[in-house]
Amino acid sequence: MDEGFVEGKPRLWLRLDGGVLFVASVILFAVTHQHWWIYPALLFVPDIFMIGYVRNTAIGAFLYNAGHSYFLPSLLVLLGWHHPLTLAIGLIWLGHVGWDRLFGYGLKYDSSFKHTHLGSLFKEKPKRN
């Protein structure tokens, strides 16, 4: 087992949690009565938080994790509860986090973009002799 990685069934459960969050965000988006084109148009906007990796991995991991944890989008949902567009944006952001978790993109460690709590993003290819 690699230190810092979730493996086995707990990893599967975390990925399934992400899928449920993504589906729930799509369903709840419907109650905002916003145009459906907004959801796919904004789904990958939270990836802008990767910009910190231009500077270094520690800043990159901090910004990425800030934008890919539940805290900020949940806060936006709570603050936007009576403002349909704000609520919709928060739900889309939560959907993005769920999407990432579903596909194995976890929270980052300072050591490398590839080093996440859900495991290594890119397995090393076997060396050819």
Q: What is the pLDDT of residue 1?
A: 42
Q: What is the pLDDT of residue 8?
A: 87
Q: Which residues of the chain have pLDDT under 50?
A: 1-2
Quick: pLDDT tens for 100-119: 999 999 999 999 889 888 87
Q: What is the pTM of this model?
A: 0.89
- The DSSP annotation for the chain comes to --TT---HHHHHHHHHHHHHHHHHHHHHHGGGT--TTHHHHHTTGGGGGGGGGGT-HHHHHHHHHHHSSSHHHHHHHHHTTT-HHHHHHHHHHHHHHHHHHHTT--PEETTEEEEETTEESSPPPPPP-
Q: What is the pLDDT of residue 5?
A: 78
Q: What is the residue extent of each domain of the chain?
A: 8-116
